[in-house]
Chain A
Amino acid sequence: DGGITQSPKYLFRKEGQNVTLSCEQNLNHDAMYWYRQDPGQGLRLIYYSQIVNDFQKGDIAEGYSVSREKKESFPLTVTSAQKNPTAFYLCASSRNTLINEKLFFGSGTQLSVL
């Protein structure tokens, strides 16, 4: 089946620790995105990538880092600099970044602080 796979489903972070969220897609999409969702809120864009080895900051990039070494993979690292990391993290992809392109979402990762 084609789709986007996020792992793990639940993740716990200790203070001062960096953690990495995985996102893999087999849809052959060029564009990939990371969103953060807080309870009762919409989605806020953290980072996005239009092509391999290139990525752009979104609205709330501070405390996060990404890489795009392969077309299929777009991992997100939540660094210790992110002081309020507890949220639901969603990875998405689209064929490209043209304005009419719909997003396909992974199942999400719930990150909590111990």
Chain B
Amino acid sequence: EAGVAQSPRYKIIEKRQSVAFWCNPISGHATLYWYQQILGQGPKLLIQFQNNGVVDDSQLPKDRFSAERLKGVDSTLKIQPAKLEDSAVYLCASSPRGFWRGGSYEQYFGPGTRLTVT
């Protein structure tokens, strides 16, 4: 079974530029997550999709970040314009189903995209 795919693996941009990341989840997984991992910290959820609908985007800086999941499969995360503090690893994860009373089902993570904003 193929894992979660992400591209690009690395990206360097200047502040105020825009950037987009792509994620292809494991086939058949209904739930997709984007996390931001700043160096030295644990990942933090940015947005969660259930099929192609947004379930949680409470931590997404909506003035500069946007995300979509067309047809309930692939997803893109965009930053426009980027700031220095956006330098981080952006992780995509997917799960077969969303959640139950006790929390989430196992989430499978992609390799991440390391973004450097100069």
Same complex for A and B? Answer no
Q: Contact residues of A with B, CB < 8 Å?
A: none
Q: Contact residues of B with A, CB < 8 Å?
A: none
